[in-house]
A and B are shown apart, each in its own frame.
Chain A
């Protein structure tokens, strides 16, 4: 059974603070993704990674960066938070062998920036 975990369920930060969101998957998946979910906008892709140390920008990368030093771990970094980054952040992973395939999601992190 695939398990994707995220470091926090809820976070409250002040404007300008730095935030690390961590995601870990235990199925040896090559692909990992970070989305933000906002009402009426669905799931928007921030960044994704198809291998260790590899990353590609998604649709809304501005204000975010990522790190993938190990295959099982994909981190989303908000260098200086702003109120418009208040959102639900979802991590996902998927295998890449002759994909595309189902994405397995983590439980999400609800970030509030005040």
Chain B
């Protein structure tokens, strides 16, 4: 079945350094790749997304890259700050049936060391 794998499961970086989280997906029909951030005790919220017609998207300190041939995509956070500490989920989706079903990765717990 459809699957999204996410690595690493935990990541600790020094404040100011960069963090990279990687995901692979199995469904070649996937065309939408969102990233969600979940702070402790809060709901997941979309931070950036990319569609299959582009290879890279950037929003201030965060960027996402997509390689459709290899079926993998990555989240890059530069100049990390304490407020970046959270669990990050990648996801993949395609418009299959009547609803756009999203498959989530297992999450990466990012910790920023002061």
Contact = CB atoms under 8 A, between A and B. Distances in A.
Contacts, number: 67
Interface string A9-47: 000000000000000000000110001000011111100
Contact of B105 (A31, A42, A56, A96): A42
B70 to A, nearest CB: 21
Interface in A75-114: 90, 94, 96, 99-103, 105-108
A90 B100 contact: no
A56 B97 CA distance: 10
Nearest to A42: B106
10 contacts: A42-B6, A43-B89, A43-B104, A44-B104, A45-B103, A48-B99, A59-B1, A99-B32, A100-B32, A103-B46
Interface of A: 30-31, 35, 40-45, 48-51, 54, 56, 58-59, 90, 94, 96, 99-103, 105-108
